[in-house]
Structure 1
Amino acid sequence: MSLETLETSAAEPAPGGSAERGAWIRVIAMTLGPIAAALVLSGAILLTLGVDPLAYYATVLERGLLSPYGLQATVTRMAPLLLLAASLIVAFRAGIWNLGGDGQFLLGAVTVAAAGPLLATVAPVWLTLVLCLVLGAAVGAAWSLLPALLRAYQGVNEIITTLMMTFLGVSFANVLVKLAFRDPATTVPQTRTLVVDDRLPRLFGTTISSGVIIGLVAIVAVHLVMTRTAFGLKLRVVGANATAAIHAGLNVPRLTVAVFAISAGLAGMAGAVEILGVQGNVRADWNPAYSLTVVPLVFLARFNGFAAIVFVFLFSVLSIGGESAARRLGVPNFFTLAIVAILLIVLALAEYLDQRRRERIRS
């Protein structure tokens, strides 16, 4: 069996007019339905807390989208999220659950925060930034090596191993900040600070970090590679049916390790972009936990890179605006994460009901 045969057999027949419209309606319903349901349920929770949900959502839009400062903060927040979305799209399309993105992100961030100020003293700014981006990607990829080898050659479930490596990675990163990478000139445990002039440049005289350009290029490149290239086809075949991929002559273990390396490398680069574009250093116990937050956004986008950009933008609006709304209306700061959690539950329920519906139609 050849790769071309697999591609032909996996291709769906071109839908007709009504069938195509029905498919589009289903996709839209499966995308917008969970979002609307999550917002309604979150609004009900706000009512129980004595907060007007319409006032909360209006404040989110005002502070995260309609104000110039809020919009700039929203676009800047997108930079690491886009790279993490690209990381998850690569893994999920290849049938691999890399849930270790937070550990890969944080270790990449800590390493870059420690190396950046030192590199800036001996290298030009542009070279420092390039080396830091490469270093963050390399550290993230290296942290995924053990789960990759266990999945590729022993068949160990990567959900367990990547989550365990995240726990270890977060703890190890904190140890590095407090010991090996600690800035001796400060009383609060943190790395040395990369000065503003040595960070990623701002765009068009605004506060928007050019890291968002890196994120956009990465997610578009990932989408095109996974949908338009032979390499992307191989990864999708492995994800769809590893046994068929072996019969087609594909080196499944090698491709598995490659997927882990690319996915984790993008997560590590996301950490580098966050440090080079926004933070400048890492304090002890800092962990934004972006990766698991991006998971439902990638599923809502149906692993489509262009759609993921839209959902990352909407989440960034919710994240930035939610911080202001929390201060104004007395809502807990973590309520944004509660909305994401509700969205994930509703999305899973919608997928389950849709699967049951399709099974009834087939029977």
Structure 2
Amino acid sequence: MASERSGRVRGIVETVVRSVLPVVLALIAGGIILAALGKNPFVFYGAIVENGIGGTNWEDSLVMMAPLLLIAVGLIVVFRGQLWNLGSAGQYLLAAVVVTGIGPWALKTLPAALAYLLLAVAGAATAAVWTLVPAWLKARFGTNEIITTLVMSTIGAGLTNILIENVFQDPELNTPQTSEIPIADMLPFIPGTQVHVGFVVAIVVAIVFQVILSRTSFGLRLDVFGASPKAARHVGISSKRMIVLLFVISGGLIGLGAAMDMMGEWGYLRSNWNPHYGDAMIPFVFLARLSPVGSIPFVAFYAVFATGGTIASQQTGLSVDFLSVIVALILIFMTITEYVGTKRRLGQSYLPDELKNTVRIPFARLASRSAA
């Protein structure tokens, strides 16, 4: 009994250290930066909470969670295979321009339910197809997917602008943007709220993929492949097929997130707009230990932080770029915490080698200098 309790306590401590502490440290460091800029950190953080969940503001945060959670699950799937999909921005934008480009026609021509399904599939398929080039290059030639996904993301963003200005441009406007999906035709709200049903879709997808990754043979094969591609080949798992499949699933979920965002929140897409949702989600999916359901509270935290932080920044005369600084600090402290935690045997590392090496090398150099 005592050993069981001790194990539970140790598990709680490990969870706090690896998941909560980096966020706390980032907020503290952010507070110090705010103070250095002459801003009151307590007032700023208080304004974030008030504008993120106060009154009916919590509804805005839940609306933002819909695309964020779907993108997070998409990243989790590919990251669990020890692969990097850093092209989420281009995949999101291409899916968004397709959805908003054909959305007004689809919703005017087809029954609403069929139109929503068509647009969701179109968004998911567009983003999934955009991952095929880096997936094929990785599977066929072992090309570094970090480079290829970033390149494809840049191309995707440029292609999005071309499609907006030359194919889907709203003829009634001079501003380069797609035609708007009428407000009356956008996704319906959850009864009694101003939160569209895309939020429910995101929660269901997270739960479904939690089951798939933890209780199915596919999840087991994915874990084996992520642990060792060589071992996976020995047990009959095709590395090439797994790579392509993981990228397609990842892109499809990112595209689905774009579809929910366009059909439920924005209704149109403007040239040169890029929310960079995927970049913001990277540290949080690792804090969640690459668990779809575990990522829900972290995505909720960021949604509140981004929703309330945008307004708080305007109120305090601070650039909204400060929010990106906090996300970067979370990533830094997460990596440092993981490095220290692994050294102190708090458990097996859950970060990819590329991320751990960002602090391992500087720490090793520092240690050698101290010894000298």
Task: Tell me, in whole angstroms, the C-alpha distance in 2 between the residues paired with 1:45 and 1:36.
Answer: 14
Instruction: Give the letter for the 1:47 counterpart.
Output: A
Q: Is the 8 A contact 1:95 1:236 kept in 2?
A: no
Over aligned residues, Cα RMSD in angstroms?
Answer: 1.6
Structure 1, unpaired ranges of 5+: 1-14
Q: Which residue of 2 aligns with 1:28?
A: 16
> Is residue 77–residue 316 contact of structure 1 (8 Å, CA) maintained in 2?
yes
Matched, 1:162 2:162: no
- For 1:303, the equivalent position in structure 2 comes to 290
Name the counterpart of 1:48. 36
Aligned equivalents of 2:333, 2:62: Cα separation in 1: 27
Q: Return the offset for 1:171.
A: 1.2
Which amino acid letter does the alignment assign opposite residue 59 of structure 1? A
Corresponding position of 1:206: 193
SS at match of 1:121: helix
CA drift at 1:16: 5.1
Q: Which runs of 5+ in 2 are unaligned?
A: 349-372
Counterpart AA for 1:118:
W
Residue 358 of structure 1 corresponds to: 345
What letter matches 2:108 in structure 1? T
Do residues 338 (structure 1) and 307 (structure 2) align? no
What do the CA deviations read for 1:16-56 (whole angstroms, capped 9, x no partner)? 54344323312211111111100000000110111100001
- Amino acid in the other structure paired with 1:56: F
Say whether the 8 Å CA contact 2:17–2:337 is kept in structure 1: no
C-alpha displacement at 1:359, in angstroms? Answer: 9.9
Counterpart Cα distance in 2 of 1:29 and 1:120:
48
Task: State the distance in 2 between where 1:20 and 1:327 align.
Answer: 44
The TM-score normalised by the length of structure 1 is: 0.92
- Cα distance change on mapping 1:154 and 1:16 into 2, 3 Å: farther
* Aligned: 1:153 with 2:137: no
For residue 280 of structure 1, what is the amino acid of its counterpart?
G
* TM-score relative to the length of structure 2: 0.90
Any conservation in 1 of the 2:229–2:239 contact (CA below 8 Å)?
yes
Structure 2 counterpart of 1:172, which letter?
L
Query: Given the alignment, which residue of 297, 301, 307 partners 1:314?
Result: 301
Question: Once the two structures are superposed, what CA deviation does each residue of 1:280-327 show, in whole Å capped at 9, x if it has no partner?
Answer: 000111110100100111011111122210011111111111011112
Q: Measure, in 1, the Cα distance between the counterparts of 2:224 and 2:140.
A: 18
How big is each residue's C-alpha offset from its partner over 1:103-149, in whole Å with a ceiling of 9 and x where there is no partner?
Answer: 11111001100011111222111111100000000000000000111
Which residue identity does 2:343 align to in structure 1? R
- In the alignment, does 2:25 pair up with 1:37? yes
Q: Spell out, residue by residue over 1:51-71, the C-alpha distance to the aligned partner (whole angstroms, 9 max, x if none).
A: 100001111111101221x11
Identity %: 38
3-state SS of paired residue (2:327): helix
- Give the stretch that moved more between structures: 224-233 or 352-361: 352-361
Confirm or deny that 1:98 pairs with 2:90. Answer: no
The equivalent residue for 1:349 is 336
Structure 1 partner of 2:125: 138
Q: What residue identity is the alignment partner of 2:281?
A: V
Question: In structure 1, what residue type is equivalent to 2:145?
Answer: E
Question: For each residue in 1:144-193, what CA deviation from the matched residue of structure 2 results, as whole angstroms up to 9, or x when unmatched?
Answer: 00011111121111111111111111111111111121111111010011
The total of aligned residue pairs comes to 346
Contact 1:237 1:245 in 2 (8 A): yes
Moved more, 31-40 or 328-337: 328-337
Shift of 1:78: 0.3
